[in-house]
């Protein structure tokens, strides 16, 4: 009996760990599309005049820490993405790239803290103009707030 209860609690823990739910009403209202959704990664996208915002939610299964996930964005970046800088704020790890093919700048922002246990929140932000560090830090906070607000709790 004890083994059955233990197995049940473990299974429930895994199910709750694996299930990240997004608020589909907010997604539609803010113009996001789900571009990828599986058990380990959920990616959204929204494009506007001169920018693309792509929030992503990554399971701990993919990376042990927010810092690891930030490093992964560097390691998996296409060859056309030239890394310009990488730094951290109190809230996030930020990597700045120059897209040599499209003459644009892309920024990856990964929140240090998990909003939902077992899931990291990040954003890929692509714009035509280079942002100063001050502008980028403000934008990172704004984008993380928005990405975290899409999570249903």
The model's confidence at residue 152, banded by pLDDT at 50, 70 and 90, is: confident
Q: How confident is the model at residue 64, as a pLDDT? A: 86
Q: How confident is the model at residue 30, as a pLDDT? A: 94
What does pLDDT average to over the chain? 87
Average pLDDT (102-130) is 94
Average pLDDT (40-55) is 94
Q: Any residues with CB less than 8 A from the CB of 104 and at least 6 apart, and which?
A: 98, 126, 127, 128
Average pLDDT (91-112) is 95
Average pLDDT (16-27) is 77
Q: How confident is the model at residue 107, as a pLDDT? A: 97
């Amino acid at each position: 009996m004890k083994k059955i209860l233990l197995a049940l609690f473990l299974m429930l823990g895994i199910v709750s760990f694996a299930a990240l739910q997004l608020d589909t009403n907010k997604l539609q209202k803010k113009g996001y599309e789900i571009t990828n959704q599986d058990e380990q990664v959920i990616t959204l996208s929204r494009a506007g005049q001169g920018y693309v915002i792509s929030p992503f939610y990554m399971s701990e299964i993919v990376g042990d820490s927010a810092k690891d996930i930030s490093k992964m964005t560097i390691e998996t970046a296409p060859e056309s993405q030239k890394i310009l800088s990488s730094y951290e704020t109190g809230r996030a790890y930020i990597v700045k790239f120059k897209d040599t093919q499209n003459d644009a700048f892309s920024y990856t922002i990964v929140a240090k803290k998990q909003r939902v246990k077992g899931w990291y929140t990040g954003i890929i932000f692509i714009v035509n103009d280079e942002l100063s560090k001050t502008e980028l830090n403000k934008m990172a906070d704004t984008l993380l707030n928005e990405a975290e607000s899409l999570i249903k709790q």
